[in-house]
Amino acid sequence: MKTTEIVIFTLLFLVVSGMGFLAARWRRPGDLATLDEWGLGGRSFGSWITWFLIGGDLYTAYTFVAVPALIFGAGAMGFYAVPYTVVVYPMVMLVLVRLWSVSHVHNLVTPADFVRVRFGSPTLALLVAITGIVATMPYIALQLVGIEAVLKTMGLTGDLPLIIAFAILAAYTYQSGLRAPALIAFVKDSLIYLVILVAIIYIPAKLGGWDAIFGSAKEKFDTAGTGGITLNANNQLQYVTLAFGSALALFLYPHSVTGILASRNRNVIKRNMSALPAYSLLLGLIALLGYMAIAAGVTPIGKDSNTIVPQLFDKVFPDWFAGVAFAAVGIGALVPAAIMSIAAANLFARNIYREYFNRNATAAQEATASKIASLAVKVGAVLCILLIDPQFSIDLQLIGGVIILQTLPSVGLGLYTRWFHRGGLIAGWAAGMAAGMLLLYNIANPATNHDHFGGSAFPLSQLGFDTKITVYAGFLALIVNLVVAVLGTFVARALKSADGPDGTRAEDYFADQGDPRVHELETTAPAS
Amino acid sequence: MTTPRADRGRNPDRSPLNWLLLLPIAIPLIPPLFNADEPRLFGIPMFYWLQLAFIILGVTSTTLVYRATRRGR
């Protein structure tokens, strides 16, 4: 047990929990019992709050432990997170403002809501909603892996600390909704920026400079015969397709959409597209911690490579600062876990409960359904980690990235074109899912003793090509999806199959705050 | 701040500067540009410092597009 570290960790954790409960009063709404207020924070967040919220949402604790762990194990390949998060913002900038506008005109809360209005197909909307929930669940579970890695390093074993942490999180999310993670994100991100700035200056100085760090990393990979500090001829395509595919997938995740829809107007979103890369820089620096761990001779606890970063902090930092660093990771898990559970709960409330169980649900009933669903989602995540091998969640999250990509034609392309037929989109979704599963099933990973679902790098040799080149499985599945969606649309048109009505108009995609077409929420707090 | 009726059907996001967004999308996805050890910067291989530098490219492009298409307040 490491008393100093535990005391500081617990103190910071309690402060943040208190903030979570008080958040219900922050920017006080007239009535918290609506999805707009509970699930989207009143749709009123300005640039700063949005920056902290989306930053805290996308750059999760799991990312902060898993990316350096990947670099530690495989080297350059793990750095894909940087091009991924550079490419994503210019790519989605003009798309997200369209989503924001149409969502405000039609009072949409989830990506599945949009599909429902755009393609007039409850079935397609249900598929998108289920895909979103399934992709998000393991992601929430992985946040627990982040907390667990820290607790393990502090010598806290057993399930109880983890359960307590998540119970507190569940309670204040239930009470305060999206306001809780929005407020906590300030603390979380300030702590993480502080820790990383210190780490990036202090640790290299202690280890004899960057030359020494990269020197020992190179030596390790040369000895091991795998990995390396630059890419080789066979994994460059994987690097590029993984970065590009992940970038395409990022804003299809329901929790990313939640962050976007919670912002006040289009300018806030556009401005954030140039401000959020600050987090990418942070992530890039964090990734390099993996090399520092190699140079410092850090070893993971057991076989859990996710403990690399906590172990490094524990080894090089004085106890009190290690406590701060652990709190940063621990709190870093709470923000995304809260937003993800809210996003998944909103999908349930809007696209399953309201669509199939209670058509005439009032705003309050809808919010209650969502609040209860958010609890259920968190209990599910805890059980996933405690009862099943955490590796299962890691595998599931890998699958999650591949399957969420399959909503791109209906959600992403749907924002630009109504050309696709709903039948074609459903067929494309099914084909993409099947292809994705088949590809992942056929990826083995001898290092983790997996015959199937061993990673996302699909060897093209499996398709009969005489090469060692690998490609991101999600990318291939998306191509299958698109081809089938296009063919399916032609077939549906040829058969004169009925298409769903489009509930949106061209100008809906440009509406902004203050526009008469945009519903002003009566309960919205005045813009601060 | 009400949108003038004349705005209907016109795309307020349209700007020739939007093409700039293609640069930070394409360049980080071309490994031959950055997949090298030398030259190093402060001992950090080019593979790492150059990809981190692409962040500046991304920020510059998105900032210019934001400024060109933001709505007056």
**Mean per-residue pLDDT over chain B, rounded:** 83
Contact A236 B13 (CB under 8 A): no
The reply to whether B19 falls in a domain is yes
The backbone torsions φ and ψ at residue A232, rounded to the nearest 5 degrees and listed phi first, read -110, 180
Contact B35 A230 (CB under 8 A): yes
Q: Are A338 and A378 in contact, with CB atoms under 8 Å apart?
A: no
DSSP string, A360-423: T--HHHHHHHHHHHHHHHHHHHHHHHHHS-HHHHHHHHHHHHHHHGGGIIIIIGGGT---S-HH
| Closest Cα in chain B, distance from residue A146 (Å) | 25
The dihedral over CA atoms of A339, A66, A324, B53, expressed in degrees to the nearest 10, equals: -90
- Work out the average pLDDT over A104-112: 90
Strand partners, B44: B41
- C-alpha closest to that of A112 among A337, A346, A338: A346
Contact A86 B54 (CB under 8 A): yes
Burial class (CB in 10 A: 0-12, 13-18, 19+), A2: middle
- Nearest CB among B1, B18, B59 relative to A277 is that of B59
| Closest Cα in chain A, distance from residue B28 (Å) | 6
Q: In the prediction, which pLDDT does A518 show? A: 65
Min mean pLDDT across A118-127, A365-374, B3-12 is at B3-12
Domain ranges in chain A are 3-389
DSSP state of A33: -
pLDDT digits (tens, 9 = 90+) for B40-70: 899 899 999 999 999 999 999 999 998 888 7
Kindly indicate the confidence band of residue A4, based on its pLDDT and cuts at 50, 70 and 90: confident
Q: In the prediction, which pLDDT does B4 show? A: 45
Count: domains in chain B: 1
- C-alpha closest to that of A256 among A407, A136, A127: A136
pLDDT digits (tens, 9 = 90+) for A208-237: 899 999 999 999 999 888 888 998 888 888
Q: Are B32 and A230 in contact, with CB atoms under 8 Å apart?
A: no
Contact residues on chain A for B57, CB-CB shorter than 8 A: 86
Min mean pLDDT across A65-74, A150-159, A187-196, A291-300 is at A150-159
Contact B70 A270 (CB under 8 A): yes
Kindly indicate the confidence band of residue A293, based on its pLDDT and cuts at 50, 70 and 90: very high
Min mean pLDDT across A316-330, A413-427, A455-469 is at A455-469
Q: Is A231 helix (H, G, I), strand (E, B) or coil?
A: coil
Q: In the prediction, which pLDDT does B72 show? A: 63
> How many interface pairs between A and B have CB atoms less than 8 angstroms apart?
134
Instruction: Report cis status (omega within 30 of 0) of the bond before B28.
Output: no
Distance of CA A418 to the CA centre of its chain: 28
Q: In the prediction, which pLDDT does A517 show? A: 64
Range of B31's domain? 15-69
Token pair in block for residue A309: 């970063």
Contact residues on chain A for B24, CB-CB shorter than 8 A: 86-87, 89-90
Q: Are A88 and B56 in contact, with CB atoms under 8 Å apart?
A: no
Mutation target vs B (from A96, A196, A230; most B CBs, 10 A cutoff): A230
Q: Report the alpha-carbon angle A249-A335-A46, nearest 5.
A: 80
State which amino acid sits at residue B71.
R
- Nearest CB among B12, B48, B66 relative to A510 is that of B12
Contact residues on chain B for A93, CB-CB shorter than 8 A: 21, 62, 65
Residue A3 has pLDDT above 50, yes or no: yes
Q: In the prediction, which pLDDT does B58 show? A: 93
Searching chain B, which residue's CA lies closest to the CA of residue A270?
A: B66
Q: In the prediction, which pLDDT does A526 show? A: 34
Residue A177 has pLDDT above 80, yes or no: yes
Contact residues on chain A for B38, CB-CB shorter than 8 A: none
pLDDT digits (tens, 9 = 90+) for A237-282: 889 988 998 899 999 999 999 989 999 888 899 999 989 998 999 9
pLDDT digits (tens, 9 = 90+) for A448-471: 777 778 778 888 888 888 888 888
Kindly indicate the confidence band of residue A519, based on its pLDDT and cuts at 50, 70 and 90: low
- Nearest CB among A82, A210, A236 relative to B51 is that of A82
- Cα separation of A62 and A68, whole Å? 10
Contact B24 A507 (CB under 8 A): no
- Work out the average pLDDT over A384-390: 76
Question: HEC string of B16-71?
Answer: HHHHHHHHHHHHHHCHHHCCCCCCCECCECHHHHHHHHHHHHHHHHHHHHHHHHCC
pLDDT digits (tens, 9 = 90+) for A45-90: 888 888 988 888 888 888 888 889 889 988 998 899 999 999 999 9
Span A3-389 CATH architecture? Up-down Bundle (1.20)
Residue B18 has pLDDT above 90, yes or no: no
Contact A277 B58 (CB under 8 A): yes
| Closest Cα in chain A, distance from residue B39 (Å) | 12
Q: In the prediction, which pLDDT does A528 show? A: 31
Contact B10 A510 (CB under 8 A): yes
Contact residues on chain A for B10, CB-CB shorter than 8 A: 510
**Mean per-residue pLDDT over chain A, rounded:** 86
Return the H-helix or E-strand segment holding A457: strand A457-459
Searching chain B, which residue's CA lies closest to the CA of residue A248?
A: B25
The reply to whether B3 falls in a domain is no
Kindly indicate the confidence band of residue A13, based on its pLDDT and cuts at 50, 70 and 90: confident
**Positive or negative torsion for Cα B35, B39, B41, B45:** positive
Kindly indicate the confidence band of residue A348, based on its pLDDT and cuts at 50, 70 and 90: very high
- Work out the average pLDDT over A364-381: 88
Scanning A224-253 for CB atoms below 8 A from B yields 229-231, 236, 239-240, 243-244
The reply to whether B9 falls in a domain is no
